[in-house]
Amino acid sequence: MGTSDLIQYARALYNAHGDKAEAEAAQKVVAAQGTGDQEEAEKWRLIRGHIKELRGPKVT
């Protein structure tokens, strides 16, 4: 999956799940690491990073 595909997937996930999308991506990272699939874990880390960028800074 290329960078543009990851960004597009992150955007779709964020649009569908809002702020919960980042937590969902984090869970996917843990699940992939649990099965030893480092490539899948890295893909989800990148998706999570793109979701963070879409979300922007947290307001307190």
| Spatial contact of 52 and 6, defined as CB atoms under 8 Å apart | no
Of residues 1 and 28, more confidently modeled: 28
Q: Is the pLDDT of residue 1 over 90?
A: no
| Spatial contact of 10 and 51, defined as CB atoms under 8 Å apart | yes
Global pTM? 0.88
Mean pLDDT in the chain? Answer: 93
Domain residue ranges in the chain:
3-55
Question: How confident is the model over 38-52, as pLDDT tens digits?
Answer: 999 999 999 999 999
For Cα atoms 22, 17, 21, give the angle at the middle one, nearest 5 degrees.
10
Other C-beta atoms closer than 10 Å to the C-beta of 7 total 17
